[in-house]
Amino acid sequence: MGDITEVTGMIISAMPVGEFDRRVVIITKERGKISAFAKGARRPNSPLMGITRAFVFGTFEVYEGRTSYNIRQANITQYFEGVITDLDAVCYACYFAEIADYYTRENADASEAINLLYASLSALIKPSLPDELIRYVYELRMIAINGECPDFFTCHHCGKEEEIDTYAAMDSGVYCADCHQLAKDGVRLSKSAVYTIQYILTAPIGKLFTFTVSDEVLAELRMVMNRLCIRTFDKVMKSKEMLP
Ligand SMILES: [Zn+2]
């Protein structure tokens, strides 16, 4: 048995292996994304049974085997029951997990990604926030964490920060009211939509899910995020098809 290490994080997927075992993918603060084997986790009386499924968050005691980590035990602090018992929320959570999987690597810092994922799943449980808004906040902030976000603060042409009113996916940027005719594929944005996008990019993660928006702003976010995600992700997320 290798050295035992404690890692803090969330299981983003769990898969049956063999007759009684499970393999899980955990995004951890300490070691980025790791794959871990949970021996006997599908035996009815296994202590690993309920703690090796998707979306549980806590600390995991693992040791390094020859090809992957092995889970010895775990102390789960959040089960996200409210997510897994709500079909729509599960679909969003799977989609968020797939994006997190896409962006994280072993031994790369994933602490911001895990904080965002945790905050987003917590937000899915709140009835006051529309799931679709949570989705756009998550997508945009995750793209920003990974350094792939367009500049939403200064005009692509003149550099002005005031009167931003157009997003241009092809230029990966925004235009002000004086320059927006230069945008070949511009999406016009209201002041509220620009403010919302800038807020999502700058607010502390703990403050991201404290607001809601009008249907008009939600529709603007939808247009921006559809374009931005297509341009940014170099694969189609499988779980996207399941979204309500
Ligand atoms: Zn301008």
In angstroms, the CA 20 to CA 13 distance is: 17
Give me 27's structure tokens: 């995004």
Amino acid letter, 138: Y
* Residue 216: Cβ within 10 Å count: 11
Model confidence at 1, pLDDT cuts 50, 70, 90, reads: low
What would the pLDDT profile of 184-218 be if each residue is shown by its tens digit? 999 999 999 999 999 999 999 999 999 999 999 99
Across the range 223-242, mean pLDDT stands at 96
Query: CA 79: distance to chain centroid?
Result: 17
Measured in angstroms, how far is the CA atom of residue 149 from the centroid of ligand 1? Answer: 19
DSSP bridge partners of 24: 14, 36
In the reported structure, the alpha carbon of residue 195 is separated from the centroid of ligand 1 by a whole-number distance in angstroms of 17
Q: Hey, what CATH topology would domain 4-79 get?
A: OB fold (Dihydrolipoamide Acetyltransferase, E2P) (2.40.50)
Report CA(151)–ligand 1 centroid distance (Å): 13
- Where is pLDDT greater, at 66 or 45? 45
Task: Specify the residue for token string 């890692």.
Answer: 7
C-alpha 178 – ligand 1 centre gap (Å): 5
| In the chain, domain spans | 4-79, 129-242
C-beta separation of 96 from 237 below 8 A: no
Q: Please give the Cα distance from 227 to 66 (Å, whole number).
A: 43
Residue 68 has a pLDDT of 87
pLDDT tens per residue across span 106-127:
999 999 999 999 999 999 999 8
Dist. CA 198 → ligand 1 center (Å): 17
The stretches of the chain forming alpha helices (DSSP H) are 81-84, 87-103, 111-125, 131-145, 191-202, 215-232
Specify whether the CB–CB gap between 111 and 118 falls below 8 A: no
Q: What is the pLDDT of residues 122-167, one digit of tens each?
A: 999 998 999 999 999 999 999 999 999 999 999 999 999 999 999 9
pTM: 0.96
Residue 187 Cα to ligand 1 midpoint, Å, equals 15
User: What's the CA gap between 199 and 23, in Å, rounded?
Assistant: 38
**From CA 21, how far away is CA 49, in angstroms rounded?**
9
